[in-house]
Amino acid sequence: MTNKITEMLTMLDQMHLVKHLQSLAPDERKAFEKHFAALDLSVLDEDGTEEQRGHFEPLYATTLREIEQHRAHFTETGLQAIREGKVGAVLLAGGQGSRLGFDKPKGMFNIGVNRELYIFECLIRNLLEVTSAAGAWVPLFIMTSAENNKETQAFFREHDFFGYSADNVWFFTQEQLPAVDPDGKLMLAGRGKIVTAPNGNGGWYASMEKTGMLKVVREAQIEWLNVFAVDNVLQRMADPCFIGAVIESGKVSGAKVVAKAAPEEKVGVLCLEDGKPSIVEYYEMTDEMLHRREPDGTLSYNYGVILNYLFRVDRLNRTLSVKLPLHRAFKKISYMNADGETVTPEAPNAYKFETLALDMVKLQENCLAYEVDRNREFAPVKNKTGVDSVDTARELLRQNGIEL
């Protein structure tokens, strides 16, 4: 086995690992062999070239004004679906939150000022508003990573699930992929252990399958899954009006979107790509696309996604065999250096490989773009300070009447 691994590492131009392998004691070597065999090394073929994009066209959104006109009807349809047990929620909480620089799961961050108010708590409170209006629980699936799973589960238990029903919460862990340094070299996490990182938020449905969560979905006959990010403290999950609007539209998916603050705003925009719903990143847009306007003056590519999607389960099942594109993200990743010391970098130092939930939108026949008011529903906590930071999120929470 060791010879085979040496051969493979040599072929992959990972000679530093051959040297490391030779330095291991027999029992360490055995453990390394097992660990190595389980790694998905296909990431080493990724050269950073992004996929070719197709032909983009604008996709029109159901606007705030239109939604307001039908709010009561949409909400009732959504509440009915929730009461019938057709809706599940999936909280994506496996990220590393490296930009925030908080060494615990991001949901454990205390966004309160004069009192404790955790990000997880903000989300659960919003969900409790829905479940009390519906008079029914929404099954909640929480995706964690190998790194933060234990801590996340313990935190929810310690806080009594913030008033949610523990019987209606399931935790599952996403998979990991090896990370590489800028020269494409695998890194060591410790003796006989290669650095891996969570495989992105696009693997959530595949991970639900691998961890047995889809059995729960099937048994409970859940028809819709609402998937969303942990780090938007104004996130409204299982929003009945959104669910109702998607159901009434007859579409197989929906995405919450916000109108762009300016043509150059750095958000991914929901549009059509070769006739299918898709997200075009701000850096992929031409000047013409950025500034194109409709006859009523609104930007043609106006609606940014906020990582809150609704998918029909039967359509998701069809996508299980599809390989989503892998994206590289340059991040701060701790590793063990040649002297055996652990290095915790101050700046991004390595590439991790991720599939993205937004790439699942492209696999849907259609998608309802559902506009929400960014001041009421979009307060992302990405950075310590500045844009999309703790400060901006606190300000938005205050504006929404939440005491900090």
143 counts as binding ligand UTP under rule CB under 6 A = yes
Site string for ligand UTP, 265-304 (x = CB under 6 A): ----------------------------------------
Q: Residue 235: which of 372, 100, 368 has the closest Cα? A: 372
- Give DSSP secondary structure letters for 331-355: E---EE-TTS-EE--SS--EEEEE-
Which of 97, 178, 240, 277 forms a contact with ligand UTP (CB under 6 A)?
Answer: 97
Binding test (CB under 6 A) with ligand UTP, winner from 14, 62, 75, 96: 96
- Give the type of residue at 254: G
Site for ligand UTP in 230-269 (CB under 6 A): 230-231
Residue 387 CB, shortest distance to ligand UTP, in Å, is 13
The mark string for 179-218 relative to ligand UTP (x by CB under 6 A, - otherwise) is -------------------xxxx-----------------
Kindly state whether residue 362 participates in binding ligand UTP, applying the rule CB under 6 A: no
- d(C-alpha 27, C-alpha 309), whole Å: 47
Closest CA to 95 of 201, 227, 225, 208: 201
Residue 49 tokens read as 């070239």
With CB under 6 A as the contact rule, the residue among 20, 59, 82, 99 that binds ligand UTP is 99
Q: Could you tell me which stretch among 64-72, 73-81, 99-107, 320-328 binds ligand UTP (CB under 6 A)?
A: 99-107
- Angle at which helices 119-134 and 240-249 pack, to 10 degrees? 60
Minimum Å gap between C-beta 102 and ligand UTP is 10
The residue among 86 and 374 lying less far from ligand UTP, judged by its C-beta, is 374
Candidate list 78, 88, 94, 244; residue touching ligand UTP; CB under 6 A: 94
Number of H helices, E strands in the chain: 14, 18
E strand map for 33-73: 56-58
Q: Centre a 10 Å sphere on the Cβ of residue 387 and count the other Cβ atoms it contains.
A: 10
Strand, helix or coil for residue 3: helix
Could you tell me if 122 and 176 are in contact, meaning their C-beta atoms sit under 8 angstroms apart? Answer: no
Judged by CB under 6 A, the number of residues near ligand UTP is: 23
Binding site for ligand UTP (CB under 6 A): 92-100, 106, 143, 174, 198-201, 229-231, 307, 331, 354, 382
